[in-house]
Amino acid sequence: MTATDATIEATTEAAEIAEDTPHFRFFELEVLRTRRLGHSFLRITFGGESLAGFRSGGYDQSLSLFLPPAHREHTVLPSTAEDTWFAQWRGMPDEERPVMRSYTVREQRRTPEGVDEVDIDFVLHGTETSAAPAAGSPASYWAGRAVTGRRIMAIGPAVAENKSVRFQPPAATDVVLMYADETALPAAAAILDRLAEGTRVKAWFEVPHEDDRLVLPTLADADITWVVRESGAGRERTERLLEVVRAAGTPAAEAPYAWIAGESATIRAVRRHFVQERRVDRRAVRFTGYWRLGASEEELLAEAYAGRAPSEDPGASL
């Protein structure tokens, strides 16, 4: 999903699911079709009989995908049993272990023909044209080669009310503030899809290229500022983004709610801005690190297993 395909959300969620699975189960997903959305985005539509039991809670609903190694056509897991899959998956040889990544359910629907479908939007990084997957981008590599009929495994929601839906604004919310980079844009788009007509939204969406500025249908009264990155990384990128955010006004509100997702250092800076400069109650800020600059997914997995993953608690210190 990024240059490293690293998602802090995935690591924490995977560790939680391994211990507590009543709301989640395995699903076999089959690629039905693909569609390029922009320079960096590819939508893959999945089907499969097991999706009849899939229950997305909407908004930023996430699921964990198990992508096969480059030399395998389909995902193979030694176990999908609740009490054994995790240990057996971790115990697989490195060259055979499917890569686990977290993604957002962009949309779930049932077609007029009675077919259950799920859309997932992938961010591509150019590795899809290489002969072998880059160490940090196995999901981009797989997505760029996905063809109809390919099958992968996923752990997803079996009930709509589940802990992997993190967008939970209080009933009194009178304006929604949003920031997302390209890794979180599918989640932000899914949130906008479901917001009630007239909901006031001020959003900043950061993307790598000009033609990544997607059309985002919504009934909300949404004021969206697109920040096209083109170049820059680390502190330079964050400071440039904060300049754009600071320069923009926000609607007057008594009870704002902020949803922030993307690279972990950037979202911490945006959260600090909202709380310290715009005086948003920190308890009304939901922030999720989807990746971390300079860290691989496997490093983040190790941190999650060791209990060192960053807190998403809205009351956490800045």
Domain borders along the chain are 8-157, 175-305
- Maximum C-alpha span of the chain: 55
Average pLDDT over residues 115-131: 80
**Interatomic CA distance for residues 228 and 317, integer angstroms:** 30
What are the tokens at 273?
Answer: 């801005």
pLDDT digits (tens, 9 = 90+) for 59-105: 999 999 999 999 999 999 999 998 899 999 999 999 999 999 999 99
pLDDT band at 314 (very low <50, low <70, confident <90, very high): low
Average pLDDT over residues 138-167: 94
On the 0-12 / 13-18 / 19+ scale of CB atoms within 10 A, 14 is buried
pLDDT digits (tens, 9 = 90+) for 204-258: 999 999 999 999 999 999 999 999 986 655 677 888 899 999 998 888 899 999 9
**Architecture per CATH, 175-305:** 3-Layer(aba) Sandwich (3.40)
Cα–Cα distances (Å) from 201 to 52, 131, 166, 174, in that order, read 33, 43, 17, 9
Average pLDDT over residues 23-52: 96
Q: Taking a C-beta distance cutoff of 8 angstroms, is the pair 178, 202 a contact? A: yes
8-157, superfamily in CATH? Translation factors (2.40.30.10)
Q: Taking a C-beta distance cutoff of 8 angstroms, is the pair 30, 47 a contact? A: yes
Average pLDDT over residues 109-121: 95
Residues in the chain: 318
Structure-model confidence comparison of residues 301 and 144, the more confident one: 144
pLDDT band at 289 (very low <50, low <70, confident <90, very high): confident
